[in-house]
Structure 1
C-alpha cells in the first residue's frame, strides 16, 4: 500500500506542494527557473526563433530539480503529480511576486 497522499483537486494539492518547497533556496531556484522560462518564451516569440523553446523544459525543470535535490533534499512532486506540480510552479511564482510567499 502506498503512503502517497491522494488529491481530488488542485486546491487540495497546493498546501502539500508548498510543504515540499519549505526551503527558501529551493523556492528561489524555482523563481529563477520560472522567470527564465518566461524570458525564453518572450524571446522566441519576439525573434521568431522558436527553436529556443526547446530550452524551456531544461531551464524550468533544471533549476527546480536542482533546488529539490541540493537544498530541499526531497524528490520533486513532478514525478508523482506532473500536472498539479506544473500548476503549482506558476501559482507559487504568482504568490512570490505578490508577496504571499517569501523567497
Structure 2
C-alpha cells in the first residue's frame, strides 16, 4: 500500500487482510494475552523490569506471524495506534467467537473453515 489509509473504518478491513491466516491471528492472541498478563504482574508487583518482557511476548509472537507466516510487514510500523487498537479488537472478537463475520466482510476469511451446512428437514 503506497497511500495512507485515512480512516479507521478503512483500516480495520486492511488489518484483517494482513492477518488472513489463522496461525497469525492465534500468535497475536497468545502474544497479546501473555503481554497483558506480564504487564499486569509488573504493575501490581511494582516490578517495572518486566515491561520489556511483556513487549517482547506481544510483539515477538505477532511479528513471527507477519514475517514468517503472512510474509508481510506489520501494520504497526505505519499505523501504530490503529494497529494497537485493532490487536485488542481482534483479541476480543476472537475470545467471544465473533471474528468470522468481520473476516468475511474484509475478504480475509479465505482460511476460515466452511460454515456448517444447514440441516435438511425431512
TM-score (ref. length: structure 2): 0.75
Unmatched runs of 5 consecutive residues or more in structure 2: 101-111, 113-122
- 4+ long deviations beyond 6 Å: none
Q: Pick the structure with greater CA Rg.
A: 2
37-46 or 64-73, which deviates more = 37-46
CA RMSD of aligned residues (A): 1.7
Specify which of 80, 95, 98 is matched with residue 78 of structure 2: 80
Equivalences for residues 24-43 of structure 1 within 5 A: 24-43=22-41
Unmatched runs of 5 consecutive residues or more in structure 1: none
Equivalences for residues 47-58 of structure 1 within 5 A: 47-58=45-56
CA distance in 2, matches of 1:72, 1:53: 27
Aligned residues: 101
Shift of the alpha carbon at 1:93?
Answer: 0.6
